A and B are shown apart, each in its own frame.
Chain A
Amino acid sequence: MKWTTCRVAWTLVFSVWLSSSVLAQSSVTAPQEVQVFDTPSDGGGSLTVQWAPAPSDGSDIRYQILVGEASARDPSAFAIIAEFPSNTHYIKDTETAWWTREADKTWHHVVIRSGKGIEILDGMSYAVAVATVHDDQRMFSPIVVATPSPNWINWNQLNNLIIAVSFGGLVFYSISHAKRNEIFLRRIPGLDAVDEAIGRATELGKPILYLTGAHDLHDPSTIAAAVILGKVAKRAALYETELMVPHREPMTMAVCQEITKQAYLEAGKPDLFKEDANFFITSDQFSYTAAVDGIMLRKKPAANFFMGSYFAESLLLTETGASTGAIQIAGTDSDHQLPFFVTTCDYTLIGEELYAASAYLSKEPVQIGTLRGQDIGKAVILGAIAVGTVLATVGAVTGAQWPQFVLDLFRDLK
């Protein structure tokens, strides 16, 4: 009797274990709702695979991405190009915006590109399957055939395009507004001092040294420096003071020669214009620095202007200039060099003030209108930062998804 009871009990335990094991195995299913398509908004050469999350997703179950020829029908013969735990690779981990998302953020997402023994070519079809792997068992999704191709527009950057076009529209509206109305322009001490510096050079009978920075004309800061040069050259021509503009880049030199020539013409002193006022030294950073330092020490200019973009040479130039007793005015958007300029120069135009300089010096409505546009743009950005901070906090605290719809509008999605 006792033996029979014991045997029944063991049979029950074994049955329960067996049924639970079978149940566990049956809960692992093949990937569901698998979608394979050409990756949108890309330059081609890739396919995107997305599928629905499964209740069994966890670190002990893995997914495999399998790729084969378009005509192939046996997924077990496909090449395995990726394998990962089933609780990873979600759409939410990728940088996509809601307006380009093809499925829910909780879905799995993998991008297939060339590599690992497979080459993904545009215009060629590929058969793709996803497999769920648990221990030695593999369960395959249906095979999906897709063809990669390049796209003409990156829709992820639609927000960037809209913001850029809106800002452009704002600038032109501000220009037209400035033509009809007078706009207040705050004082910029560094630009007020331009006249003072040129006047001092005139009184002392010493030249003015003007540098346009380390970059070529690709950089807006160099263009801004060239535009300011025109204003400085005009004043120098009026005061009949020598101007020296050593260059690091030949094309910038050619452009600055034209600007200087025009400035002398506008000042009514074309005979004072010297072709070699703008001259090339070298493109090498420290050779240029040594040469300009030499000019400062030999010619002792009374006013030094450092406009444009600078690197390690900034302190070598300005400290030498300070040692000669020259009045120094700097203007740069190189934020990493600003401390050196602030320390060693009498006046420094910080960041955007460099771009504001031509407006301030010319007082033309077109230029002043641009400044107004920039200021409104800054106000919009400040507003976006404040609203974005509040929304991100609300999203994090409440777990709500809706703030993300607004936050995506301000994200840089590539």
Chain B
Amino acid sequence: MIFLRRQLPLLITLITGLLFAGQYYVPHPASEHMLTSATKWLQIIGGFALILGVTSLFHQHAAKIRRQEAGWGYSLVLYAGMLGTIAAGLWADGKESVEGAMTAFGWVYNYMMVPLQGTMFAILAFFIASAAYRSFRARSREAAVLLVAAVIVMMGRVPLGEYLIPLSGDVSSWILNVLNASVRRAILIGVSLGAVALSFKIIFGVERSYLGGGKE
């Protein structure tokens, strides 16, 4: 049992980890074919995992409705929305339009889903304003530097700002291309090394907490 739960997953991780790390250095079509096949397998496994996710979602909200927890009405809306969309999708054979005419499924997607997503994305503009207001208050030396840099970059990125302060364009480019880019690259070097080290630990079974279970 321990073999199936611990050793076998670690063995699979070791073999596939080394195989796909090596794949990067092998240009042969067989290697490309192996990668394509593995990606397809993952998509199939992902499809089955979705059943797991949807089951979890239904279970979670069914429990809320059954217990009549606070906000259980939203769970009813979720059930209605999900079952309604599945029914519309099955009815339309998964097509958004048939011979130029929009199906009910297409209508749900284009007139409900897309506007709702757009609304969520649009809220970002207000959130950026409120976050900027909070962080740009020059309460400390660091915040003051942030404020000055932000004002210069904002002035340099719009035609009016560059018209009013001609130097702002060059200074903002310098801030973005020299200061910002170098710091970003430094972060990326650290991230890459961290990711590679974590990958080594996982491949060789040093890090195994992602498997759950004890340390046997």
Q: Which residues of B contact A218 (CB under 8 A)?
A: 42
Question: Please, how many angstroms separate the alpha-carbon atoms of A250 and B59 in the complex?
Answer: 14
B200: Cβ under 8 A from any A Cβ: yes
Shortest Cβ distance from B48 into A: residue: A250
Contact call A276/B56, Cβ cutoff below 8 A: yes
Contact call A340/B212, Cβ cutoff below 8 A: no
B194: Cβ under 8 A from any A Cβ: yes
A262-B212, A281-B57 given; A315·B49 CB < 8 A? no
A254-B49, A286-B121, A335-B184 given; A171·B27 CB < 8 A? no
Contact call A319/B130, Cβ cutoff below 8 A: yes
A312: Cβ under 8 A from any B Cβ: yes
Contact call A316/B127, Cβ cutoff below 8 A: yes
Main secondary structure of the interface of A (DSSP, over half): helix
Q: Which residues of B contact A255 (CB under 8 A)?
A: 210, 212
Q: Which residues of A contact B212 (CB under 8 A)?
A: 255, 257-259, 261-262
B26: Cβ under 8 A from any A Cβ: yes
Shortest Cβ distance from A227 into B: residue: B209
Shortest Cβ distance from B150 into A: residue: A339
Contact call B27/A43, Cβ cutoff below 8 A: yes
Shortest Cβ distance from B69 into A: residue: A298
A220-B194, A343-B134, A352-B190 given; A157·B53 CB < 8 A? no
Q: Which residues of B contact A227 (CB under 8 A)?
A: 207, 209-210
Query: Which of A249, A351, A370 neighbours the largest number of chain B CB atoms within 10 Å of its CB?
Result: A351
A window 24-63: CB within 8 A of B: 41-44
B123: Cβ under 8 A from any A Cβ: yes
A366: Cβ under 8 A from any B Cβ: yes
Q: Which residues of B contact A3 (CB under 8 A)?
A: none
The smallest beta-carbon distance between A374 and chain B, in angstroms, is: 5
B45: Cβ under 8 A from any A Cβ: yes
Q: Which residues of B contact A224 (CB under 8 A)?
A: 194, 198
The smallest beta-carbon distance between B171 and chain A, in angstroms, is: 19
Q: Which residues of B contact A342 (CB under 8 A)?
A: 135
Shortest Cβ distance from A295 into B: residue: B71
Q: Which residues of B contact A370 (CB under 8 A)?
A: 197-198, 201, 206
Q: Type the 1/0 row for B107-147, where 1 means its CB is closer than 8 Å to any CB of A.
A: 00000000011001101100110111011000000000000
Contact of A378 among B127, B189, B204, B207 (CB under 8 A): B189
Q: Type the 1/0 row for A337-348, where 1 means its CB is closer than 8 Å to any CB of B.
A: 010101110000
B199: Cβ under 8 A from any A Cβ: yes
The smallest beta-carbon distance between A335 and chain B, in angstroms, is: 5
Main secondary structure of the interface of B (DSSP, over half): helix
A157-B25, A298-B70, A356-B194 given; A262·B131 CB < 8 A? no
Contact call B45/A366, Cβ cutoff below 8 A: no
A43-B28, A258-B211 given; A286·B120 CB < 8 A? yes
Contact call A220/B26, Cβ cutoff below 8 A: no
Contact call A223/B202, Cβ cutoff below 8 A: yes
Contact call A262/B63, Cβ cutoff below 8 A: no
Shortest Cβ distance from B21 into A: residue: A164
Contact of B26 among A152, A217, A294, A374 (CB under 8 A): A152
The smallest beta-carbon distance between A135 and chain B, in angstroms, is: 42
Query: Which of A43, A247, A265, A266 neighbours the largest number of chain B CB atoms within 10 Å of its CB?
Result: A43
Question: Please, how many angstroms separate the alpha-carbon atoms of A161 and B25 in the complex?
Answer: 8
Q: Which residues of B contact A335 (CB under 8 A)?
A: 184, 187-188, 191
B167: Cβ under 8 A from any A Cβ: no
The smallest beta-carbon distance between B40 and chain A, in angstroms, is: 14
Question: Please, how many angstroms separate the alpha-carbon atoms of A333 and B186 in the complex?
Answer: 12
The smallest beta-carbon distance between B7 and chain A, in angstroms, is: 16
Question: Please, how many angstroms separate the alpha-carbon atoms of A247 and B56 in the complex?
Answer: 10
Contact call B116/A276, Cβ cutoff below 8 A: no
Contact call B57/A279, Cβ cutoff below 8 A: yes
Contact of A171 among B59, B131, B200 (CB under 8 A): B200
Contact of B214 among A262, A276, A280, A312 (CB under 8 A): A262
B24: Cβ under 8 A from any A Cβ: yes
Contact call B28/A250, Cβ cutoff below 8 A: no
A167: Cβ under 8 A from any B Cβ: yes
A223-B198, A227-B209 given; A253·B52 CB < 8 A? yes
B29: Cβ under 8 A from any A Cβ: yes
Nearest 10 interchain pairs by C-beta? A258-B212, A250-B53, A355-B194, A280-B53, A352-B190, A286-B120, A250-B49, A352-B194, A220-B195, A343-B135
25 A–B contacts from the bound complex (CB under 8 Å): A44-B28, A152-B28, A154-B25, A221-B195, A223-B202, A224-B194, A259-B212, A262-B209, A266-B214, A282-B57, A286-B120, A298-B70, A335-B184, A335-B188, A343-B134, A344-B131, A352-B190, A354-B194, A355-B191, A355-B197, A355-B198, A370-B197, A373-B197, A377-B193, A381-B189
Which B residues fall within an 8 A CB radius of A?
Answer: 21, 24-29, 32, 42, 45-46, 49-54, 56-57, 59-60, 63, 70-71, 74, 116-117, 120-121, 123-124, 127-128, 130-132, 134-135, 184, 187-191, 193-202, 204, 206-207, 209-214
Which A residues fall within an 8 A CB radius of B?
Answer: 41-44, 150-154, 157, 160-161, 164, 167-168, 171-172, 175, 216-218, 220-221, 223-224, 226-227, 230, 247, 249-251, 253-255, 257-259, 261-262, 265-266, 276, 278-287, 289-290, 294, 298, 312, 315-316, 319, 333, 335, 338, 340, 342-344, 350-352, 354-356, 358, 366-367, 370, 373-374, 377-378, 381
